[in-house]
């Protein structure tokens, strides 16, 4: 595993919980943790349950059974491609790369490799999202006409919040667009279909932030917020939005879908619930997605005992590692990640030229 920050903690926790999820989950040994700071790395390896450490990914990616790339976006392409060329299965966090060109190289390596390559779109593994997918695939909503997705956070509202790799275009690629919008775009594709055309805009409200080391300041070279109107290949219309400066919003990822026969609404801040409208009802009903026959719930707690954000990673890791163990296909794979990256690129191109562009 490369990286031991936010995502490293989430995935390490998931790996430890796999035997609780299903008794016959793939057996996992947390072998080597990769990072640059030896002291911090040693502490993290002990805390996250890894047997050893390495400061150079080149020394280990060919010698492990699975490689997790959880580093900053600019660190995604090279280690991932090297692992795939060595035949090592990979799970890479989203977005795949800072640029479309980097994502294309990664997808090409995955296509040539005899190993699964996964992208960390964990929100596909929310039980309520899986429940929504069942409804849509069964035709319960009729013909899908509109998709509305927004992802709002407020951790950069304060102009004195320090700069980081997430505010630097060379390392991140984009701001709220790639960091948050990638998740929304993946769910749009998962639930509705591929996006064909985009009209987008990006905005940076704070152009300069204090340097992370406390010495001076650094320019902000990514967006604080974005929005886009989109047209799906199947004719559905959609709007996308994300912000890291939305006051009062902590982690509000909201999805709304309207069809000819019904509609759904979902918010990550109430992730055990799905709001459902059917013809004949006077309004939306709230469905608590915690029954034993709901997705994944047969492996957890009695009905009404809610799951949390961390459980999405357990479900994701189980699906991915089972595919590795069985030699079967896995989705979302690098083709899915590349499709999302093409939409991210289209939004940026559209914002630059001020007009609608075609994805691809």
Q: Let me know whether 310 and 226 are in one domain.
A: yes
Distance, in Å, from the CA atom of 358 to the CA atom of 44, rounded to the nearest integer, reads 44
Q: Let me know whether 187 and 306 are in one domain.
A: yes
Q: Let me know whether 226 and 275 are in one domain.
A: yes
Q: What is the mean pLDDT of the chain?
A: 97
Number of domains within the chain? 2
Is omega for the bond preceding 4 within 30 degrees of 0, making it cis?
no
Q: How far is CA 269 from the centre of its chain?
A: 16
pLDDT of residue 214: 86
pLDDT digits (tens, 9 = 90+) for 274-283: 999 999 899 9
Q: Using the 3D structure, point to which of 75, 94, 122 is the last residue of a domain.
A: 122
pLDDT digits (tens, 9 = 90+) for 158-216: 999 999 999 999 999 999 999 999 999 999 999 999 999 999 999 999 999 999 988 99
pTM of the shown model: 0.97
Cα–Cα distances in angstroms (integers) from residue 200 to residues 181, 183, 287, 347, in the given order:
12, 17, 33, 5
pLDDT of residue 39: 93
Q: Let me know whether 181 and 277 are in one domain.
A: yes
Residue 220 lies in a domain: yes
Q: Report the Cα–Cα distance between both ends of the chain, in Å, rounded.
A: 31
Residue 157 lies in a domain: yes
Residue 142 lies in a domain: yes
Residue 1 lies in a domain: no
Residue 262 lies in a domain: yes
Residue 312 lies in a domain: yes
pLDDT of residue 247: 97
Instruction: Tell me the percentage of the chain whose pLDDT exceeds 70.
Output: 100
Q: Let me know whether 174 and 36 are in one domain.
A: no
pLDDT of residue 113: 96
Distance, in Å, from the CA atom of 168 to the CA atom of 228, rounded to the nearest integer, reads 22
> What's the CA angle centered on 264, arms 261 and 268, to 5 degrees?
170
Residue 90 has pLDDT above 90, yes or no: yes
Q: Let me know whether 264 and 350 are in one domain.
A: yes
Residue 270 lies in a domain: yes
Q: Let me know whether 169 and 69 are in one domain.
A: no
Q: Let me know whether 55 and 178 are in one domain.
A: no
- CATH number of the domain within which 236 lies: 3.30.360.10
Q: Let me know whether 89 and 135 are in one domain.
A: no
Cα–Cα distances in angstroms (integers) from residue 19 to residues 4, 24, 51, 67, 68, in the given order:
22, 7, 19, 20, 19
pLDDT of residue 72: 97
pLDDT digits (tens, 9 = 90+) for 250-263: 999 999 999 999 99
Q: Let me know whether 84 and 185 are in one domain.
A: no
pLDDT digits (tens, 9 = 90+) for 324-344: 999 999 999 999 999 999 999
Residue 78 lies in a domain: yes
Residue 20 has pLDDT above 90, yes or no: yes
pLDDT of residue 277: 98
- CATH number of the domain within which 102 lies: 3.40.50.720
Q: Using the 3D structure, point to which of 87, 106, 122 is the last residue of a domain.
A: 122
Q: Residue 344 class from Cβ within 10 Å (0-12 exposed, 13-18 middle, 19+ buried)?
A: buried
Q: What secondary structure, in 3-state letters, does the chain show?
A: CECCCHHHHHHHHHHHHHHHHCCCCCCCCCCEEECCCHHHHHHHHHHHCCCEEECCHHHCCCCCCCEEECCCHHHCHHHHHHHHHCCCCEEECCCCCCCHHHHHHHHHHHHHCCCCEEECCHHHHCHHHHHHHHHHHCCCCCCEEEEEEEEECCCCCCCCCCCCHHHCHHHHCCCHHHHHHHHHHHHHHHHCCCEEEEEEEEECCCCEEECCCCCCEEECCCCCEEEEEEEECCCCEEEEEEECCCCCCCCEEEEEEEECCCEEEEEHHHCCEEEEECCCCCCCEEEECCCCCCCCHHHCCCCCCCCCHHHHHHHHHHHHHHHHHHCCCCCCEHHHHHHHHHHHHHHHHHHHHCCCEECC
pLDDT digits (tens, 9 = 90+) for 227-257: 999 999 999 999 999 999 999 999 999 999 9
| Average pLDDT score over residue span 272-296 | 96
pLDDT digits (tens, 9 = 90+) for 147-158: 999 999 999 999
Joined tokens for residue 194: 């591929």
Q: Let me know whether 323 and 254 are in one domain.
A: yes
Q: Let me know whether 233 and 337 are in one domain.
A: yes
Domain enclosing residue 34, as ranges: 6-122
pLDDT of residue 91: 98
Q: Using the 3D structure, point to which of 73, 90, 122 is the last residue of a domain.
A: 122
Give the chain's length: 360
């Amino acid at each position: 595993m490369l990286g031991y920050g936010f995502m490293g903690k989430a995935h390490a926790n998931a790996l430890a919980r796999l035997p609780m999820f299903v008794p016959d989950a793939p057996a996992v040994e947390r072998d080597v943790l990769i990072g640059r700071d030896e002291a911090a790395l040693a502490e993290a390896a002990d805390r996250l349950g890894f047997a050893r450490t390495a400061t150079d990914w080149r020394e280990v990616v060919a010698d492990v059974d699975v490689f997790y790339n959880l580093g900053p976006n600019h660190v995604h392409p090279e280690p991932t491609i090297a692992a795939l060329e060595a035949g090592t299965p990979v799970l890479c966090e989203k977005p795949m790369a800072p640029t479309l060109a980097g994502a294309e190289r990664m997808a090409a390596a995955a296509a040539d490799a005899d190993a699964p390559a996964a992208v960390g779109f964990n929100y596909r593994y929310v039980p309520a999202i899986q429940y929504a997918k069942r409804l849509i695939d069964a035709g319960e909503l009729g013909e899908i006409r509109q998709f509305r997705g927004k992802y709002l956070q407020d951790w950069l509202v304060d102009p004195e919040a320090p700069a980081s790799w997430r505010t630097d275009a060379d390392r991140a690629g984009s701001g709220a667009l790639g960091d948050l919008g990638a998740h929304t775009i993946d769910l749009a594709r998962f639930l509705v279909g591929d996006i064909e055309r985009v009209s987008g805009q990006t905005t940076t409200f704070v152009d300069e932030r204090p340097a992370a080391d406390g010495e001076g300041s650094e320019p902000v070279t990514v967006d604080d917020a974005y929005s886009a109107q989109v047209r799906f290949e199947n004719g559905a219309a959609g709007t996308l939005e994300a912000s890291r400066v939305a006051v009062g919003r902590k982690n509000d990822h909201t999805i709304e879908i309207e069809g000819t026969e019904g509609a759904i609404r979902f918010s990550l801040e109430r992730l055990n619930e799905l709001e459902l409208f059917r013809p004949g009802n006077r309004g939306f009903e709230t469905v608590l997605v915690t029954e034993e026959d709901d997705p994944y719930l047969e492996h957890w707690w009695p009905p009404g005992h809610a799951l949390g954000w961390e459980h999405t990673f357990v479900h994701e890791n189980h699906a991915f590692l089972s595919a590795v163990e069985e030699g079967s296909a896995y989705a979302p794979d690098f083709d899915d990640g590349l499709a999302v990256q093409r939409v991210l690129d289209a939004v940026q191109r559209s914002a630059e030229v001020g007009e609608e562009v075609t994805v691809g």
